[in-house]
Structures are given as structure tokens and as C-alpha cells.
Amino acid sequence: MNRDQAEARGVQAYYPKDMAWCYGCGRLNEAGHHFQTNWEGEETVTTYTPCSEHMAIPGFVYGGLIASLLDCHSTGSASLALYRDQGHELGSDAPLPRCVTASLKVDYLKPTPLGVKLIARGKIRDMNNKKVVVESELYAEGILCARGEVVAVSMPENFGK
Ligand SMILES: CCCCCCCCCCCCCC(=O)SCCNC(=O)CCNC(=O)[C@H](O)C(C)(C)COP(=O)(O)OP(=O)(O)OC[C@H]1O[C@@H](n2cnc3c(N)ncnc32)[C@H](O)[C@@H]1OP(=O)(O)O
């Protein structure tokens, strides 16, 4: 895959197979959302168009779906940020940093309409070599509907043990 293809596909296309099963962003999880996150300048962006089954109230998106989008958008953003900090961009051979969610906070500012493209835009607020704080805004038709703050942490070698 070349650099242009990498930019079209997002960081999740590069997660190794054993890390590609996340319900939100794992490309190998057939039932999942397949979120894809990439740089747009100094911001990170993930887009997704919810369908009718992602409903909370007729016409509006379920908050849990919004939280999922901001969650995977943020862990993907953290991986991209650590990778760039190490001097790499998608398309290079160096292994990607693996990040999991330590903390996820969402503020729901306005009802989010169903059936339109949602755009999550993230900024890296704080970072060291094993922790990244990502602040994001979620827009629908140009309206700011939610804000998220995620602390993403490098996945420990002994994760889950
Ligand atoms: C190759 C690429 C592939 C990547 C794929 C990845 C998976 C893909 C799937 C996508 C996944 C999608 C997403 C998912 O669904 S990920 C699934 C949901 N998340 C989890 O299951 C994580 C469970 N938790 C843990 O394993 C541990 O608690 C972790 C690893 C998170 C931290 O463990 P530990 O506590 O031992 O870490 P540390 O002591 O070294 O601290 C490090 C830094 O972190 C700061 N801190 C810690 N906790 C919190 C907190 N709650 N709030 C704020 N900050 C916190 C801490 O102060 C320190 O900061 P600093 O002192 O450095 O400033």
C-alpha cells in the first residue's frame, strides 16, 4: 500500500490481524462499524453515517454509537500521534503504537440527526511516550453535536493478564 492509499484508508487498516477485531474499528469484525481515522492537517478525522438501527429517538442517533465513534476515533488518533512523534507516517514499515482507552468522556450538546454523515475532528491535547489525551468534536451537517475527551494509553505487553 502506498502513502496515498494509506491516507484514504486510515490507521485501522494497518492494525495487525490480531488487533483488528474491535466492534468499532476492527476491519475483520463483520458486525462492526469499521471506523477509519486519519490526519487532516494537524487534526484527526473519522466520518460515519449511522443507519436507522442506530436510533435513540426517531430521527436521532443513539448516544452509545456517538461514544463508540469518539472512542475509536481517539484511540486511532493516539496511534497516529505516537507514530508521527516517532518520525513515521502511515505507509512506512515501522510497527504502529497500540493504544487502548483508559478514559472516555462525552458531552452531548445537541440531538444528533440520523441519516447524515457525522464528522469527528480530533486534536492532540497532551502526549507523552505512553499516554495521549485526545479532544474531539462531533459535527452533523456543520452543527456541533457532541464533544469527547479520551485518555488513550499504550497497550501493556501483559494486557488482560
Ligand atoms: C498496532 C496497532 C494496533 C493497535 C490496536 C489496539 C487495539 C485496537 C482496538 C481499538 C480499541 C478501541 C478502544 C477500546 O475499546 S480499548 C478496550 C477498553 N479499554 C480497556 O480495556 C483498558 C483497560 N485498562 C487497562 O488495561 C489499564 O488501566 C491501562 C492500560 C489503560 C492503564 O494502565 P496503567 O494504569 O497501568 O497505566 P500506567 O500506570 O502506565 O499509566 C500510564 C498513563 O496513563 C494514565 N492513566 C491510566 N489510567 C487512566 C485513566 N483511567 N484516566 C486517566 N489517565 C489514566 C496514567 O496516569 C499515566 O499518565 P502519566 O503519568 O504518564 O501522565
State ipTM.
0.94
Q: Is the pTM of this model over 0.90?
A: yes
pLDDT tens string 107-144: 999 999 999 999 999 999 999 999 999 999 999 999 99
Is 103's C-beta closer than 6 angstroms to any atom of ligand 1?
yes
The ligand 1 atom nearest the CA atom of 16: 1
Residue nearest to atom 27 of ligand 1 (CA): 102
Residue nearest to atom 57 of ligand 1 (CA): 131
**Residue 94 neighbours by CB under 8 Å, 6+ apart:** 83, 86, 88
The domain total for the chain is: 1
Indicate the length of the chain as a whole number: 161
Phi, psi of 53 (to 5 degrees): -70, -10
CATH code for the domain in which residue 26 is found: 3.10.129.10
Position 159 in a domain:
no
Position 16 in a domain:
yes
Pairing of strands 43-48, 99-108: unpaired
Position 161 in a domain:
no
